[in-house]
Chain A
Amino acid sequence: MSETIKTDALIIGAGPCGLFAVFELGLLDIKAHVLDILPRAGGQCSELYPEKPIYDIPGFPQITGQGLVDNLMKQIEPFAPTFHFNEQVDELESLGTPQAPLFRLRTNGGLVFEAKVVLIAAGGGSFQPKKPPVPGIEAYEETSVFYAVRKMDSFRGKRVLIVGGGDSALDWTLNLQPIAERVTLMHRRDEFRAAPHSVNAMRELVAAGEMDLVLGQMTGLKGENGELSAVSVKGNDGGAFDIACERMMPFFGLTMKLGPIAHWGLNLNENLVPVDTEKFETNVPGVFAIGDINAYPGKLKLILSGFHEAALAAQKANRYIYPDKKVVFQYTTSSSSLQKKLGVA
């Protein structure tokens, strides 16, 4: 059991809205920890469209998804948020009162937080690996079928089938090839999205007879008690055959699922969290929802709307965390105290 991490605010989701919430809270002297299921900040901007230009960020005629994330990371630097990546909040438990909220949150990685306010900035939900359309695959998950490599050693001496054509598929093909009994890479076409140098390295191994490349798609799994023995394949040439293997790794990208948020006692409306439009607070006082995850009349799923929501949620969070502090609204252009916090005064 790990030590409880105490914080003013816990932000769930390190996408653009979660990151900007750090800024708005920081101006109000509210310290934040930020948590994300992905291994890095950026959410959909970094995961789905890092290189694609966005045209509707005020003040930026054009900026890429990753460019926006990089700028936000720089903007919140003065507030030194603590990031916890590869973590998903499983449980949220209320310890406080509606006037003085306090929450205990537990993650899948065993972290425990105590936070006075919680900002859910979870976008479309948590990113999860996409499952291939093969009946009965669940029976093999975590025993023979893996969507990520946790322990490379469990692939040693095994026949491994890797399916996909992106960087994850190619990287693991190259990493596991030396330790596996035999690696087969299968993809639906003879073109790969992965970095050219990995594709070249893979093709060299195939040419040298040290691994196999199959063009086709999975149609079924064979084995028993969770132990895979072969994968049935329909080849691109139309033929059907089996590939004998004890391990299979499908890499078909990520999809978004609401995840454990559904069990936190929050009102939900079709996988979205309803909030008011004054404070962007949920039905649980002290729990806010900002960005794509929330719902209210007239909601637009725009990054700029999420920024606005972060600013207003921060104001209400301030009332909870500093109930006795006089509220003075200030501008970053003129307030010397804000400028001091930003490190520019």
Chain B
Amino acid sequence: MVKITFIDAGGQSKTVEAEEGSTVMEAAIRNDVPGIEAECGGACACATCHVYVDEAWVEKLPKPESMEEDMLDFAYDVRTESRLSCQIRVTAAIDGLVLRTPEQQG
């Protein structure tokens, strides 16, 4: 299992175990991580699983595809470290990933 830590806008942190091959969004939903809504269920169609990637991790993740960039246009308070968690695949390489959830989704 791969460990992922989510820190909410209030600073509360929660570390969950994610299965390799799933997505970060799925791990968040399965573990009731607050601040991730995932209205569309992972179709990259809603921008409500928006996260900020910890600085130390931004370069280590595969770059977003254009579909994700397009959908990020709809997210609330987008920054350079913004990603949609439904598009981040869980692999051994991201063990220890730290993400921040935004103040609100959409």
Which residue of the partner chain B has the closest CB to A44?
B40
Question: B69 to chain A: which residues have CB within 8 Å?
Answer: 189, 191
A133–B76 contact, CB under 8 A?
A: yes
CA distance A111 to B40 in the complex (A): 31
B43–A49 contact, CB under 8 A?
A: yes
**Quick check: is B47 within 8 A (CB to CB) of the other chain?**
yes
Number of interface residues of B (CB under 8 A): 17
Which residue of the partner chain B has the closest CB to A48?
B45
Which residue of the partner chain B has the closest CB to A254?
B74
Name A's interface SS.
loop
**Quick check: is B78 within 8 A (CB to CB) of the other chain?**
yes
B40–A164 contact, CB under 8 A?
A: no
**Quick check: is A67 within 8 A (CB to CB) of the other chain?**
no
Query: A48-B40, A193-B70 are contacts. A253–B76 as well, Cβ < 8 Å?
Result: no
Name B's interface SS.
loop
Tell me which residues from 190 to 207 in chain A have a Cβ below 8 Å from any Cβ of chain B. 191, 193
**Quick check: is A18 within 8 A (CB to CB) of the other chain?**
no
B106–A164 contact, CB under 8 A?
A: no
> 1/0 contact trace for A43-56 toward B, CB 8 Å?
01000110010000
CA distance A189 to B45 in the complex (A): 19
A-B contact count (CB 8 A): 38
A133–B77 contact, CB under 8 A?
A: yes
**Quick check: is B46 within 8 A (CB to CB) of the other chain?**
yes
CA distance A64 to B75 in the complex (A): 24
Among B40, B45, B69, B78, chain A packs the most CB atoms within 10 A around the CB of B45
Question: B47 to chain A: which residues have CB within 8 Å?
Answer: 253
A193–B39 contact, CB under 8 A?
A: no
Question: B65 to chain A: which residues have CB within 8 Å?
Answer: none
Question: A193 to chain B: which residues have CB within 8 Å?
Answer: 70, 73
A52–B76 contact, CB under 8 A?
A: no
**Quick check: is A226 within 8 A (CB to CB) of the other chain?**
no
CA distance A256 to B73 in the complex (A): 17
Query: Known contacts A188-B73, A193-B70, A256-B39; can you find 9 more A-B pairs with CB under 8 A?
Result: A48-B40, A48-B43, A48-B46, A124-B39, A130-B76, A164-B73, A166-B73, A217-B78, A253-B74
Give residues in B with beta carbon < 8 Å to A. 39-41, 43, 45-47, 66, 69-70, 73-74, 76-78, 103, 106
Provide a sorted-by-A list of 19 A–B residue pairs whose CB atoms are within 8 angstroms: A44-B40, A48-B43, A48-B46, A49-B40, A49-B43, A52-B43, A52-B45, A124-B39, A133-B77, A164-B73, A187-B73, A188-B78, A189-B73, A191-B69, A193-B70, A252-B73, A253-B47, A253-B74, A256-B39
